[in-house]
Amino acid sequence: MNIGKVMYQSALFGDFREVLPTPEKITLLMEAFKDKGFIPSTFLDFDPLYPNPVNRISFISENNEWRMNIGNQRIDIYKNSLNIIGDNLGEMQQFVIECADIFARFLSKFDKKGNRIALVGNYFFNDTNTEKYNSFYLKLRNSYGIYKNVVPFEWNIRDVVKKSIKQENHEEVFNVGTALDRFQGQIFNNNETIFVDRINLLFDINSIPENIEPRYDINKIIWSLNTTCSILSSFLTDIKNLQE
């Protein structure tokens, strides 16, 4: 099956309430990211600690490929696909390098540390031979009832585990989650609505929320993003082998 990319995302969690959308803060960050081509904007942050959504700082690239949202309790960096196969996204490792650089510039301006980090990859697989979808599904799940005789044309399988990693003077426990689902429907591409039948893959790995120590300086961020990227790469290889 062919692989396509939808979106990459990284999130740094922490206390960023003081980074309000004021002219002073926006100017400071514009200077920090002046070579990125970011356009300042705002977004509504729905924070459970506040009864009403609040305006926060956002930065967007001119073509909407990149977005950075600075919320009260997290900073999200997105890289979005610009076409139906997402070939502009490149490799996850390059995205990780870019995110580490952006986080480092931000933290240096506000003398902050994060307390959690996350890496998300959204992919899809497609093939004109739908029997390959059925074969892939049967490798993932033991069918029961009516599904023993008729393979579903829509399905969703989600798994999450905890993984403890200790290396390079760092130790962290991560939640590693994947969601695989077969999707049939319509998507909008280049001013055209097209029908798709594909398998979506959402990969989400994040340090556990139980540990809220502000330990994520730039060295910890680089190590964690490289570690999570390696886990993702290994998982993609396993998925590809399972499709054969």
Does residue 211 contact residue 173 with C-beta atoms inside 8 Å?
yes
56 vs 127, more confident:
56
The pair of three-digit structure tokens given for residue 43, joined into one six-digit string:
């977004």
Residue 44: per-residue pLDDT: 94
* High-pLDDT (> 90) share of the chain, %: 78
Residue 140 lies in a domain: yes
What's the average model confidence in pLDDT over 192-200?
89
Mean pLDDT of the chain: 93
Residue 54 lies in a domain: no
> Which of 200, 242, 235 minimizes the C-alpha distance to 5?
200
| Arithmetic mean of pLDDT, 60-82 | 96
Q: Residue 159 domain-assigned? A: yes
pLDDT tens, position by position, 201-239: 999 999 999 999 999 999 999 999 999 999 999 999 999
Predicted local distance difference test score (pLDDT) of residue 189: 73
pTM of the predicted model as reported, rounded to 2 decimal places = 0.94
Counted domains in the chain: 1
Rounded CA-CA distance 162/238 in Å is 18
Task: Choose the most confident range, by mean pLDDT, from 125-129, 141-145, 175-179.
Answer: 175-179
User: ∠ CA 25-20-94 to the nearest 5 degrees?
Assistant: 70
* Model pLDDT, residue 168: 83
Q: What is the pLDDT of residue 49?
A: 74
What's the average model confidence in pLDDT over 19-39?
95
178, 180, 181, 183: which is closest to 232 by C-alpha?
178
Per-residue model confidence (pLDDT) at position 188: 77
For 187, the enclosing helix (H) or strand (E) is: strand 170-189
pLDDT exceeds 90 at position 93: yes
Mean pLDDT of the region 113-122:
97
**139-152: average pLDDT:** 89
The better pLDDT of the pair 190, 217 is held by 217
116-126 vs 192-207, strand pairing mode = antiparallel
pLDDT of residue 19: 96
Q: b/e per residue, 136-175, with b = 16+ CB within 10 A? A: bbeeeeeeeeeeeeebeeebeeeeeeeeebeeeeeebebe
180 pLDDT tier (thresholds 50, 70, 90): very high
Considering the domain boundaries, does residue 79 fall inside one?
A: yes
Residue 125 is assigned to a structural domain of this protein: yes
State residue 91's pLDDT score. Answer: 96
Structural domain of 165: 2-16+73-243
Q: Which stretch, 72-86, 123-137, 143-157, 185-199, has highest mean pLDDT?
A: 72-86
In this predicted structure, the answer to whether residue 124 has a pLDDT above a threshold of 90 is: yes
Amino acid at position 121, single letter: G
| Residue 142, domain member (yes or no) | yes
Long-range CB pairs of 25-34 (<8 Å, 24+ gap) are: 25/57, 26/57, 28/109, 29/57, 29/59, 29/70, 29/106, 29/109, 32/105, 32/106, 32/108, 32/109, 33/59, 33/102, 33/105
Tell me, what's the pLDDT at 20? 93
So what's the pLDDT on residue 194?
84
